[in-house]
Amino acid sequence: MGPTTFPDTTFEVIDQTLESAQSCFIEFSKKEGGQRAGFLRRIAENLATHRQSVIAMAEQETSLGIERLEGECSRTIDQIRLFAVLAEKEEWKENSCEEGEPNREPNANLGMQKENHPVGTVVVIGACNFPLAISVVGTDTTSALAVGCPVVVKSHPRHARTCQLLAELVNLAKKESNMPEGCFTLLHGESHGVSRALVSHPKTACVAFTGSLQGGKALSKVAKSRTKPIPFHAEMGSLNPVFALPFALKEKREKLIGSYIDAVNLFCGQMCTKPGALIILEESFDQKFKESLQAYVSEKETLPMLNQDVFQNYEKTSQHLAQYLDMIAQSEISSANGSGRIRIFKVAAKDFLAVSELKAEAFGPASILIIARDFPEMLAVARSLEGSLTGSMLATDNDRIDASTLLPILESKVGRILWNGFPPGVVPGLATHHGGPWPATTDPRYTSIGIKGYQRFVRPVCKQGFAELGGMS
């Protein structure tokens, strides 16, 4: 692990990079879709060819382990190929036409043809927890390249060498497919100043960030202070509440508690969709519930956290939660340094409602069990929540009436709802939505995973009267 071996990019180089991206924008965006598809497929192939060295490097720099990294690498390659198809088919242009009406009163209607165009240079600042899938060649970068936006990626300081290796594969693909030099650049930076300079640069057209609420807020502030505003898309903290209705808990308590603890501990809770709260009724909470939960927690392995920073933050957040809450279950200390113990806290709904600090995400395997006196209090908890990426509902047919009351509240709070399932459950596709109201993201109308991720990077241009010069458009 250790510190990055790359010095921080200077402001001069940042400026040159953005200038170079800007100057190739028209050339790059006017390439045929098939050519950009070829470029993306070369990236996917280069990653497939060098997957062992990339995974080995990511294993050195993170503690995610081979199995997870193998899966993540395959998903990343699949995603790149999905975006190659998008580039090729050009469906992202969403072409729509309206015939003219030359005799329209009071003015002639010239006819309109509208299609999407790329917005310009996109800056990508990736996540610590997905060194492959939400990084140098993740959805942000590849969806932007697919639609013709030059991309400048800021490497993550905790896995900078993995980023560098990935960037070399992209640079190779760039040459192999004859793409302009400026269409992709990786820059390094341990200091936040590098990110700030990228976000505030006048030639940056859009930013895609994945990270903590704190980091997202800080960069959002930089974006807001620009003279010329640009879209700043951040995917940040998310509580991901799970509502368990009484009949569901009556009928399959053991299974649900087990799945809940699995979801909390998945990749040591370092997932943006980790369920940070389980909301149940008082009638569902008895000694048996508590014992089952404790048993599942004690059975689970305590996993290593991504790095020392993340571990220390988790310890701090846990201590903070412990000030307000009872810890009712905790997994064993692991012999490995920097491992994240599962911690389940318990709170009465009325206390949860009173303390706003509890509504934020703890990055790591912690979760809060919220106990509502009755169903109206459960609804009050739902209404009090901030935005999340996901919300889940555990229910059976007998819970149907309560579920239908809860559902519209959940719809107004989250970007994705799982029915009798626990997050993540992310499947990158056309119907994927990985987004949600603040503080989950800065703009709930967009997704950072799945095909529609490109929508952040296009804007429509309407043309009128072009029919007379066929092919001009």
Residue 30 or 337: which CB sits closer to a copy of itself? 30
Binding mask 218-237 for a copy of itself (x = CB under 8 A): --x---x---xxxx------
Q: From the CB of residue 65, how many other CB atoms can be counted at a distance below 10 Å?
A: 13
Among 409, 448, 453, 454, binds a copy of itself (CB under 8 A): 409
Residue 160 or 414: which CB sits closer to a copy of itself? 414
Confirm or reject binding of residue 103 to a copy of itself (CB under 8 A): no
Residues of span 289-348 touching a copy of itself by CB under 8 A: none
Q: 192-207 b/e with 16+ CB inside 10 Å = b? A: eebbbbbbbbebbbbb
Instruction: Count the helix, strand and coil residues of the chain and give each as a percent rounded to the nearest 5.
Output: 50, 20, 35
Strand locations in 155-295, DSSP E? Answer: 184-187, 206-210, 232-235, 241-244, 277-281
Confirm or reject binding of residue 439 to a copy of itself (CB under 8 A): yes
Confirm or reject binding of residue 444 to a copy of itself (CB under 8 A): yes
Catalytic-role residue among 163, 183, 206, 272: 272
- Binding residues with a copy of itself: total (CB under 8 A): 74
Q: Which long-range contacts (CB under 8 A, 24 or more apart) does 316-321 make?
A: 317/362, 317/363, 317/364, 317/366, 318/343, 318/362, 318/364, 318/366, 320/357, 321/345, 321/358, 321/362, 321/366, 321/368
Confirm or reject binding of residue 427 to a copy of itself (CB under 8 A): yes
CB of 44 to a copy of itself, least distance (A): 20
CB of 421 to a copy of itself, least distance (A): 5
| Triad 366, 216, 154: Cα angle to 5° | 110
Residue 172 or 407: which CB sits closer to a copy of itself? 407
272 included as an active-site residue: yes
Among 414, 440, 453, 454, binds a copy of itself (CB under 8 A): 414
Confirm or reject binding of residue 246 to a copy of itself (CB under 8 A): no
Ramachandran quadrant class, 5 (left: phi over 0; alpha: psi -120 to 50; beta: rest): alpha
CA distance 344 to 327: 6
Instruction: Map residue 224 onto helix, strand or coil.
Output: helix
Residue 355 or 427: which CB sits closer to a copy of itself? 427
CB of 39 to a copy of itself, least distance (A): 19
Q: Are 368 and 219 in contact (CB under 8 A)?
A: no
Residue 7 or 471: which CB sits closer to a copy of itself? 471
Tokens of 306: 């991504």
Q: Are 284 and 246 in contact (CB under 8 A)?
A: yes
CB of 328 to a copy of itself, least distance (A): 28
Q: Which of 363, 264, 386 is nearest to 317 (CA)?
A: 363
Among 52, 97, 321, 470, binds a copy of itself (CB under 8 A): 97
Q: From the CB of residue 85, how many other CB atoms can be counted at a distance below 10 Å?
A: 15
Confirm or reject binding of residue 462 to a copy of itself (CB under 8 A): yes
Among the listed ranges 39-47, 178-186, 251-259, 430-438, the one in contact with a copy of itself (CB under 8 A) is 430-438
Residues of span 47-86 touching a copy of itself by CB under 8 A: 71
CB of 206 to a copy of itself, least distance (A): 9
235 included as an active-site residue: yes
Among 416, 440, 448, 453, binds a copy of itself (CB under 8 A): 416
Residues of span 251-290 touching a copy of itself by CB under 8 A: none
Residue 107 or 319: which CB sits closer to a copy of itself? 107
Q: Which of 196, 137, 149, 146 is nearest to 14 (CA)?
A: 196
Confirm or reject binding of residue 30 to a copy of itself (CB under 8 A): yes
CB of 98 to a copy of itself, least distance (A): 5
CA distance 260 to 254: 10
Residues of span 354-393 touching a copy of itself by CB under 8 A: none
Q: Determine how β-strand 339-340 pairs with β-strand 303-304.
A: antiparallel
CA distance 128 to 135: 8
Confirm or reject binding of residue 445 to a copy of itself (CB under 8 A): yes
Among 403, 448, 453, 454, binds a copy of itself (CB under 8 A): 403
Strand locations in 57-183, DSSP E? Answer: 96-98, 112-118, 122-125, 151-154
Catalytic-role residue among 72, 90, 235, 361: 235
Confirm or reject binding of residue 11 to a copy of itself (CB under 8 A): no
Confirm or reject binding of residue 2 to a copy of itself (CB under 8 A): no
CA distances from 58 to 110, 367, 437 (A): 56, 28, 32
Q: Point out the residues that are catalytic.
A: 235, 272
